Each structure stands twice: as C-alpha cells, then as structure tokens.
Structure 1
Amino acid sequence: MSEAVPLGGPRFQTEPACLYREMRRDHGSVVPVELDGGIPAWLVLGYRELHQVTGDPALFSRDSELWNQWENIPADWPLLPMIGHRQPSVLYTVGERHRQRAAMISNALESVDPFELRRQAERFADELIDTVCLSGEADLVAQYSSLLPVRVLAHLYGFPDDEGPGLVTALNDMIDGRERALAGQSHLASSMARLVADRAEKPADDVVSRMLADDSGFTAEEIVQDLMVMMAAGHQPTADWIGNSLRLMLTDDRFAASLFGGRNSVAEAMNEVLWEDTPTQNVAGRWAARDTHLGGRRVRAGDLLLLGLQGANSDPQVRTDASALTGGNNAHFSFGHGEHRCPFPAQEIAEVIARTGIEVVLDRLPDIDLAVSAGSLTRRPSPWLRGLTELPVRFTSTPALGGTSR
C-alpha cells in the first residue's frame, strides 16, 4: 500500500475530525493505513461500508487466524494485546459458538441489579470525590474518571475493593499500547485467573460466578479471556465517556444549566459525545474471508479491516442535522454493530456508571469550572481511544461525606 496513511501521530490527538475528513477526501470511504512496524490494514470510514462489514460476518470474519500478516508480526508487537493471535476469547470466536458465548456474557451482565449498580457507582464516586473536595481543585481525569469505572466493574465481577488500583494501572498500561502493554495484559490475566479459581470453589452473587455456572461448557481459561475483554472494553471507554462529557459541559454554553442541577443536559451531553467525540475511535477488526471489493477498494483474502467508528459517525452522507444529536439519536457506531457489538447489558452498565459519575461531580462540587483554558486541554495521542490526559477544575471547597449517606 504505497499510499498508506500511518495510523498514529499527533493529529489523532489534536485534530482527528480534520484528519478523518482529509482521509475521506484523499482516499474515499476505505483508507489504506499502516500500523506499528509498517503492517498494512484498511480503515473503514464510510457509514454504509462499516454497516456492511459489521453486518456480514461470513465475508468479514472476526477470526484473526485468517490474517495474512502473521508471519510479519514480532512476538513483542505492541498491538498484540488488541489484535489477538489464537486467543480463546469471545472477540475471536465465530458462528454458533460465538452466539453461545455472547449469550453467557449477556446473561451474566443482565443479572446485575440496576439499583445496586447505581448504589455502588455512587459509593465509589463519593469516595473519590471525598479525596479532593476539601482542596477546591482536582484533576478529574487522574483523580476521578480514570479510577471510577474499574472500581465499579471490579466489584460487580467479584474482586476485593483493594485490588482496584492495580487493575487500573494494568488497564492503563494496555491502553498505552507500547512497551508496558504486555506487562499490563499479564497482570490483568493473572488477576482474573485467581478470581475465577476462587469463584469456582466459592461461588458468590457476582458476574464471574454466573459465568462459571453457565452450562455451555466453556473452560476457565476461556472465561478468564472473556473477563479480560469485558474489563478492558468496559473501563477505559467509560472513563473517557465521563471525561469527554464533563469537558463538553464545562466548555459549551448549551450545557451550562446542567452545572446547576439540570439532569436532561447530562444525558444530552453524553449522547453528543458518542456522536462527535466517541471514546472508542477505531477498533481492530475484521478479516476478509476471501477476495472482495469494498468502497471501491479491492480487498484481498486475509486483509485486516479496522472499524473507523468515529469516521463513520461523521460520514457526511448520513449525518443528520447536528442539533438532533442531543435528542437521543442512537444510530451512532460507538458501541459497534452486528453480532460482535458491545452487548446491550454492557452498554446499560457503562451508561449508568458514566451518568452517575457525572451527576456526583455536579452534585458534590459547587461552582465547578475549568482551572485552565479550554484550548489548553490535551488528549491521549492514540488512534484507538480518545480521552483527555487531564481535566483540571476548581470549585468551592466542601466537606467530605466520610461514608455518610448522600
């Protein structure tokens, strides 16, 4: 691919929307790109093309064994935690076995009591706010949004609360996608393996125990792999959803009223983020089962196709009036599409965690405002997940709850 665009660099941090527009203008709806080490792939930016890829699992398979580049992938390739080779997880199973596996996960998550979920999200959110509320200033990324989702998810899965910080570190290392990625993956895998072994002996009322009780015959190793996927997919995107929504509410006059107790604006801001600033920008991926054509490109058997979720969301051929984006239009690709999309119960859990996290901030920190100019806020330099590196705020100092009810 002599015209391939490197899938990396500072523009994914500073101006991704402009970059996607340029890619679409210069290359069309299916863009040749290069991953780390010059590995070729296709980035699908067209809404209709992405719908086609995610809706046809026979032609565009989730089976990574089809990849025609495995012989060129070194053992320490930094994207291996994201693009798995012979990993027994739900991400890479296909057909009826995938449907059984997805059902096991959905059933385990669907059994989460929504009132208990909200209560736990509030509890952890209040604990985090208690650590900063007296100071009158905080970084709502490092001290809040990057810690909250994994605390809640770890509790739902069955982890002791004190293992949360180590899981946060491991997951953030995996997100970085560089030299620490494999170490982070190793820590997460060993933690999950210990939890699964413990729950196999002593079941409890948690997600892991419900998955182990499923009668579809999945091994402990398969369940460990699925839990790793669920934790990684649930934590950082939700953390970025919180951070990106708070940034929007603090910098856009349309949402100013929500800073004084309005709740409709919270949901509207969260929905607009999923359209305009989605945490999961690009996803790997699908593999062509045979030679085919897509968006005017000839795709060879075994080629990797990356799902350009944000690019598809901003496709001018399908975009409605921007004012409709805050009205509950959920036709975005932010949770994926097709049989490998994010399970609906997982979407609901992420939404409850994110919305609760935002509402606790607004409830607990009066007169909250940015401590820096909006233009100085920086993003993670990643083509995969889009989130703030920090969100410095100031507010009127308030007392900690200290475990009292809200």
Structure 2
Amino acid sequence: MTEPPADGAVRLYERIYSEHPAALYAELRRDHGPIVPVLLENDVFAWLVIGYRELHRVLTDPQLFPRDSRVWNKWGEIPSDWPLMPFIAYQPSMFFGEGSEHQSRYEAVERAFASVDPFELQLRCERIADTLIDDFAGRGEADLLADYAYSMPVLVLAEMLGVPGTRLESVARDLVEALDTGEGALAAHGRVVAAMHDLVSMKRESPGTDLASRIVTTHPGTAEEIAQDLLVVMVTGQEPVANWIGNTLRLMLTDDRFSLTLSGGRRSVGQALNEVLWEDGPVQNDVGRWAARDTELAGRRIRAGDMLIIGMAGANTDPHVRPGSPTGISGNQAHLAFGHGSHGCPQSTREAAEVIVRTAVEVLLDRLPDVLLSVPAEDLVWRPSFHVRGLTGLPVRFSPTLAVGGR
C-alpha cells in the first residue's frame, strides 16, 4: 500500500475544470487511478474517489466509511470560516446520522414521499410551471434559470410540505439565497431553519395530509431533529433539482439529437433526463465520508479519520462500467447521481424529483415551442464549483405568448 503523498496531491481549487469536468476526471484517473490524493481550500488533504467500484464500496460500508464528520483527523487545523464548513460541520440531521437511528429517520421521509400520488404531484407541478411561465411568456425572452428552474422545485416542495401560503414565497426566496453563498446566505439560512422549526410546531399542533405532517407524526426524533431533517429535504430537493432542470434544458437546446424535435419531442425528454444524470449530474462531488480506521482502498493506504470525497461525476465516467458515447447510456440508470447505500436519496424522493423535472421541461416546451438560446452555446458559463454542476444563466428567446392562467 502506498502512503498519502506529501507533494503529489492535486489542488482541486486551482483547477479550471467547470467547463469540461470529464476531461479532468480522465486525467486524474490516468495519473492517479481510481483514488486521487487532492487538496481542498487551505491545502486541506482528502481522497477523491472516482472509481465506480471503489465508490460503490465506500457508499455501502458505513461501518468503515461513516458519514459522521466528527471523526475527521483534521479538525484541529480547520479555521471556522473555511469555505467548505457548511458541508462538513456536524448537525443533528439524518444527513450525518448512522445506524438504526439514521435508518428510522430516513424511513420516515421515505414513507412520507411514497404516499404522494404521482398524478396529483404532476398536476401541482403543471400549475406552478404555468404560473412561473406566465410571468415571462409575454416578454419573448427569459433566463430559464433565474426565472424558472430555480423557483420551480422549491415552490413545489414548500407546497408539498404544507408551508402556509403566507410564507411560501419568503421561504422559497430565502432557500435560494441561502444556497447561493452570497453575503446574505447565512442570514437567509437562519430564516429557513426558523421556518422549519415553526413548521414542526404547527404540524404537531394541527397535523394535516401534507408531507411535513406525515413526517412529524412518524419521525422518532426530537423537534430539533425533525426540523433538521425537513431542512435536509428542502436543501437536497432544491439545488440538485433546479440544476437537473437547467442542465436538461441546456442539453435539449444545444444538442441536435434533442433540439431537432423540440416542438414535438416529448419522447426525448426522458432520454435527456437520464443522459444529464450520467454526463452533467447536478451534484458532482460530495463531502464526504471519513475512514473509521486505517484501511486500504485500490492500493491506497487510507488512515483513520481521513476524508473521502464522493466523486459521483468521476465514477459515472469510469470506462470500466460504461461505454464512451452518450448514446450508449440510453435506458441505463446505473449512474451514481443520487448516491447509493444508506445515505443515498430514498427511492420515493428520486421519483418525486423526476416528476418535478420532467414536468418542468415538458410544460416549458409545450408553452414555448420555438424557444431558442439567445447566446451561442459556447458562451454559456458553468458555475466554478467542484460540488455542483449548473449554469450561471440560460438566456433564451421565443415568440411572446399570452398567459394561460393555469392548465
């Protein structure tokens, strides 16, 4: 087994790979293999797992590679304002939990989403999509991220959870701002946390048929833990789903295999959704897992407390498990875009996310059949993040249409 290299680690934060991450992962795999020594901001050491089989092993062995960040061996070296602190600092949520306690909390969310009628969810999504499109349909131009994709999932989720109508827009706005990491992100995050606590109190006093009520009445945890888990539902259902919508629309507007059939190409939407999860998954890397003890992975010596970054995007490009061309992945859903194992997205939440994304794309193409990019495809800018895969904007033009006021 080889030791962690002192000088050979790759400084991820210095690499410009947001335009073509697959090229970076191919280079890393060629030079380092499936387990890559990397440095994060402040030259903090970690292991990036980009081998599909190796990542599968990490994600299915919570005893050896737990999610609990408190075992990290670098805590004494990390400043409180470290940029990745929000992803790593332990919180009493199912995101960091392990064992039977985690499983029971996970199952409360799973059962709640499993009770959702997909046809009712689709109707809800169609109504919200129409409302959003009505706001810009008459202009003949829009930014499909700012005006549409970023608003769609959070509005759907807030309604599903039973957030009161008077607070719906403010919670949606605060969540988007909190995930934007701008100057107001911390304050916005605090407001979302407060809103989740208020929601738990409300549903405990007067439960209904909404998702939050179903989670509250079956969740084994305290009010604080339930609020934290509702926050996880909101966060994981917003940014990834918004970028899944945006990345799918980009594919359909820029790739001839899809764009040639935009005006009547519903049969292509499902293929586009799946291809995006392989090629441009909304979550590229996740921080992370930590080794519970000294171990070995793909010939690398992993020390107790070492951080492992979950490289979903890199694993999805592993030539050992998939063909080289996008056409070869049609119908293949063995990607790791939703994670895997005890901390993977519950199946019922994956299905709800797909309904939201598919409906968002289909309604937009129905309403604006001649929609086109208003800038060259090569001018679209990807966000410079190793964590998410999403555009900074998706400007389009189309023939102005009247608002429909609902479907």
TM norm structure 1: 0.95
Q: How do 1:297-336 residues align onto structure 2 when only pairs under 5 Å count?
A: 297-320=300-323, 322-336=325-339
Relative to structure 1, is the Cα distance of residues 52 and 322 closer, same or farther in structure 2, using a 3 angstrom cutoff?
same
Counterpart of 1:383 in 2: which secondary structure?
Answer: coil
Look up the match of 1:125. 129
Please say if residues 312 and 337 of structure 2, whose CA atoms lie closer than 8 Å, have aligned partners that are also in contact.
yes
Look up the match of 2:97. 93
Selected match of 1:252 from 211, 232, 255: 255
Selected match of 1:365 from 363, 368, 373: 368
Q: Deviation per CA, 1:282-334: give whole Å up to 9, x if none.
A: 01111101001112211100111010000000011221252554521000000
Relative to structure 1, is the Cα distance of residues 356 and 198 closer, same or farther in structure 2, using a 3 angstrom cutoff?
same
Please say if residues 177 and 185 of structure 2, whose CA atoms lie closer than 8 Å, have aligned partners that are also in contact.
yes
Relative to structure 1, is the Cα distance of residues 326 and 249 closer, same or farther in structure 2, using a 3 angstrom cutoff?
farther
Relative to structure 1, is the Cα distance of residues 185 and 72 closer, same or farther in structure 2, using a 3 angstrom cutoff?
farther
Q: Distance in 1 between matches of 2:107 and 2:309?
A: 25
Q: May I ask how many residue pairs the two structures share in their alignment?
A: 402
Relative to structure 1, is the Cα distance of residues 383 and 151 closer, same or farther in structure 2, using a 3 angstrom cutoff?
same
Q: Deviation per CA, 1:202-223: give whole Å up to 9, x if none.
A: 1111111111111x53111101
Q: Distance in 2 between matches of 1:335 and 1:370?
A: 29
Query: 1:240 aligned to 2:224?
Result: no
TM norm structure 2: 0.94
Instruction: Tell me which moved more, 72-81 or 259-268.
Output: 72-81
Gaps of 5+ in 1: none
Look up the match of 2:3. none
Look up the match of 2:118. 114
Look up the match of 2:10. 5
Look up the match of 1:262. 265
Counterpart of 2:95 in 1: which secondary structure?
Answer: helix
Query: 1:203 aligned to 2:203?
Result: no
Deviation for aligned residue 1:178: 6.3
Q: Distance in 1 between matches of 2:250 and 2:392?
A: 12
Counterpart of 1:11 in 2: which secondary structure?
Answer: coil
Q: How do 1:51-66 residues align onto structure 2 when only pairs under 5 Å count?
A: 51-66=56-71
| AA partner of residue 110 (structure 1) | A
Q: Distance in 2 between matches of 1:178 and 1:394?
A: 28
Q: How do 1:7-406 residues align onto structure 2 when only pairs under 5 Å count?
A: 7-9=12-14, 11-85=16-90, 87-177=91-181, 180-214=184-218, 217-320=220-323, 322-403=325-406, 406=407
Please say if residues 322 and 329 of structure 2, whose CA atoms lie closer than 8 Å, have aligned partners that are also in contact.
no
Q: Distance in 2 between matches of 1:119 and 1:65?
A: 43
| AA partner of residue 2 (structure 1) | D
Percent identity reads 52
Instruction: Tell me which moved more, 119-128 or 31-40.
Output: 31-40
Q: Distance in 2 between matches of 1:26 and 1:175?
A: 34
Relative to structure 1, is the Cα distance of residues 375 and 147 closer, same or farther in structure 2, using a 3 angstrom cutoff?
same
Q: Deviation per CA, 1:220-272: give whole Å up to 9, x if none.
A: 11011111111111111111111111111111111124411222200001100
Instruction: Tell me which moved more, 205-214 or 352-361.
Output: 205-214
Q: Distance in 1 between matches of 2:383 and 2:73?
A: 30
| AA partner of residue 54 (structure 1) | L
Q: Distance in 2 between matches of 1:89 and 1:231?
A: 13
Counterpart of 2:343 in 1: which secondary structure?
Answer: coil
| AA partner of residue 13 (structure 2) | G
Q: Distance in 2 between matches of 1:397 and 1:233?
A: 34
| AA partner of residue 151 (structure 2) | L
Q: Distance in 2 between matches of 1:297 and 1:183?
A: 41
| AA partner of residue 299 (structure 1) | I
Relative to structure 1, is the Cα distance of residues 162 and 366 closer, same or farther in structure 2, using a 3 angstrom cutoff?
farther
Q: Distance in 1 between matches of 2:184 and 2:79?
A: 16
Please say if residues 78 and 182 of structure 1, whose CA atoms lie closer than 8 Å, have aligned partners that are also in contact.
no
Counterpart of 1:131 in 2: which secondary structure?
Answer: helix
RMSD: 1.7
Instruction: Tell me which moved more, 152-161 or 137-146.
Output: 152-161
Deviation for aligned residue 1:9: 4.5
| AA partner of residue 16 (structure 1) | P
Deviation for aligned residue 1:82: 1.4
Counterpart of 2:342 in 1: which secondary structure?
Answer: coil
Gaps of 5+ in 2: 1-5
Relative to structure 1, is the Cα distance of residues 177 and 6 closer, same or farther in structure 2, using a 3 angstrom cutoff?
farther
Q: Distance in 2 between matches of 1:68 and 1:391?
A: 41
